[in-house]
Amino acid sequence: MSNKTLVMKFGGTSVGSVNALKNATQIIRDAKRDWDRVVVVTSAMSGVTNLLLDSASLAAKSVGATRESPLQEHLQKAESTLKEKHFAAADALIKNVELREATKQEISDLVFILVDLCKAMAVLGEASPRAMDTVASLGERMSVRLLAAVVADAGIKAKAVPSTEFVVTNNHFQNAHPDFKVTTEKTRALLNPLMDEGIVPITTGFIGATPEGTITTLGRGGSDYSAAIIGAVLPADDVWIWTDVDGVMTTDPRIVPTARTLPEINYSEIAELAYYGAKVLHPKTIRPVLDAGIGLRICNTFNPSHPGTRLIAAVKSNGKVNGKVIKAVTAIRKQKLVTIEGRGMLGVPGVAARAFAAVASTGTSVPLITQASSEQSICFAVPSEVADSVVTTLEKAFADEIEDDDIDRVWSTDDVSIITVVGAGMRHAIGVAGKVFSQLGNNDVNVLAIAQGSSEVSISLVVDAADTENGVKALHELIVQ
């Protein structure tokens, strides 16, 4: 593939152990043989980002921490855990003593930054979004040094290049948005000369920097998004996401052991799956590659010979797979339905606008909305942990209407799950919704609410938390029948 460019992203489990790093190194070697130009994006080692963020959260609550405090004990454990995890891999895989010791020293320096930042947070008694981004970035900054050294020691020309040097974002800390124009210029200027020399740039996923150089993050799971950004701006010919499953599955194999890998899936389908709980791909990943017309493939680091799942732009053969219009079933757990109801809402303009403005003020994302045609109620889902604060905010926003009995009440259910059935072929097929509801009814699963997107690529149903597994298993049977 002469002069073709490949961007590969390795997730946390794909760089999370000695064996995983060995596999990743071999995958990079094979890719370099087949592609002239390769860029590698790495996540933090599995479990590291959670440990970093837990440390920062604890520090922010530990005002006036002393040497004997729980924070001090936690930081000592975190420091030794981070060093052991990274050093064990370095000792096992980097034979060059000078390179190994230099890598370990760089990782040590980053661990000390974590400790210092957490102590500063304890003094202030708060963790600002900017400080949290700096803490969260440390996992990738450790991982990139380790992976680059392991790959270089294996005889592959490679160089660690922090993405903070070329992914330029706004200052919306913890969920920053890239400036694609500046990022394009900087990415090409920095990475192309390295690839022209046959060097594999190994860079950090998840993080960028403001024009002033302050570290930002692209949101949790943002390493996929980083790979898509780099792929789009270079531009690359293909982006491969290496994870710990054989691609996009028909459903969660922990619920249905017979779940299969989908050989291909289109962009609208994967967007729905990513949004509704399938953790194979970050939802923001799709747009940059789609806009740039770049191929995207999801593969398994631990089973690299498996073809994985290929994303395609258009629906083929009416979206059917083996004659089936439903491709996959996914579920989001730990949701609650919030309902605003009252006869006085009938025909009153602006109720929905005010309701969702109030919800937005709490920083809550709403994955599903349904409204009765009588306009006497609005119902929507929110994550369980924020339901109480959303209800309180809505009660304040509609205090006058509640007092005048135009709105009877604002309330939330117990825990529910959103089950989503996805398949682009559903828009061409008659009776899919009927089959879905019959299947659930035949399996004693009660549907509490329904939403179907105007794209007709998915149908989402709300069920009691206790019915989640039954519902997913029942609907998965429509794929395999």
Distance (Å, whole) CA 299 – CA 309? 7
Average pLDDT over residues 348-363: 88
* Average pLDDT of the segment spanning 183-200: 98
Instruction: Indicate whether 369 pLDDT > 50.
Output: yes
Using a 10 angstrom Cβ sphere, with 0-12 exposed, 13-18 middle and 19 or more buried, the burial of residue 80 is: exposed
Contact 211, 168 (CB under 8 A): yes
Interval 20-44: pLDDT, tens: 999 999 999 999 999 999 999 999 9
Mean pLDDT, the chain, integer: 90
The answer to which of 32-36, 339-343, 344-348 has the lowest mean pLDDT is 344-348
Helix, strand, or coil here: 311?
Answer: strand
pLDDT of residue 347: 67
Position 278 pLDDT exceeds 80: no
**pLDDT at position 319, please?**
47
Placement of tokens 């924020």 in the chain: 386
The residues near 441 (Cβ < 8 Å, ≥ 6 apart) are none
Interatomic CA distance for residues 466 and 457, integer angstroms: 26
Rounded to whole angstroms, the Cα distance separating 368 from 370 reads 7
Band of pLDDT at residue 158, cut at 50, 70 and 90: very high
* The predicted structure's pLDDT at residue 453: 61
Residue 66's pLDDT is what? 53
Confidence band, pLDDT 50/70/90 cuts, at residue 89: very high
CA distance 452 to 154: 51
The alpha carbons of the chain give a radius of gyration, in whole angstroms, of: 24
Indicate whether 321 pLDDT > 60: no
- Express each pLDDT in 453-463 by its tens digit: 655 788 999 99
User: What is the rounded average pLDDT of the residues 269-289?
Assistant: 78
User: Looking at residue 415, what is its pLDDT?
Assistant: 96
Q: Does 359 score more than 80 pLDDT?
A: yes
Q: What is the pLDDT of residues 233-252, one digit of tens each?
A: 999 999 999 998 899 889 98
Question: Using CA of residue 401, residue 404, residue 407, residue 412, what is the dihedral sign?
Answer: positive
Of the two residues 78 and 317, the one the predictor is more confident about is 78
Average pLDDT rounded to a whole number, residues 194-215:
97
Helical spans, DSSP H, in 207-301: 223-233, 267-275, 286-292
- Residues 268-275 have a mean pLDDT of 80
Q: Quote the DSSP letter at residue 237.
A: S
Do residues 151 and 202 lie in contact, with contact meaning Cβ atoms separated by under 8 Å? yes
pLDDT of amino acid 7:
98
Beta strands in 293-403 (DSSP E): 295-300, 309-312, 328-341, 368-371, 377-383
Residue 344 pLDDT > 60: yes
pLDDT of residue 326: 87
Pick from 216-230, 281-295, 333-347 the range whose average pLDDT is largest. Answer: 216-230
pLDDT band at residue 57, thresholds of 50, 70 and 90? Answer: very high
Structure tokens, 188: 């090409």
The pLDDT of residue 223:
93
Taking 60 as the threshold, does the pLDDT of residue 316 lie above it?
no
Measured CA to CA, the distance from residue 42 to residue 144 in angstroms comes to 6
pLDDT grade, residue 63 (50/70/90)?
low
Lowest mean pLDDT among 319-333, 352-366, 370-384: 319-333
Task: Report how far residue 25's alpha carbon sits from residue 200's, in angstroms, rounded to the nearest whole number.
Answer: 12
Over residues 180-195, mean pLDDT: 98
To which residue do tokens 């001090």 refer? Answer: 72
pLDDT value at 346 more than 80: no
Judged against a pLDDT cut of 70, whether residue 1 lies above it is answered with: no
The phi, psi pair for 161, rounded to 5°, reads -130, 105
Over range 123-134, report the average pLDDT.
93
User: Model pTM?
Assistant: 0.85
| The pLDDT of residue 428 is above 50 | yes
| Overall average pLDDT of the 311-337 stretch | 75
Q: Which residue has the higher pLDDT, 240 or 269?
A: 240
* Domains (range + CATH), the chain: 5-244 (3.40.1160.10), 315-481 (3.30.2130.10)
**CA–CA distance from 174 to each of 53, 128, 456 (Å)?**
12, 10, 32
Residue 68 has pLDDT above 70, yes or no: no
Three-state secondary-structure class, residue 222: coil
Short-list 445, 414, 277, CA closest to 339: 414
pLDDT surpasses 90 at 277: no
Q: How far apart are the first and last CA of the chain?
A: 40
pLDDT given for residue 283 in this prediction: 75
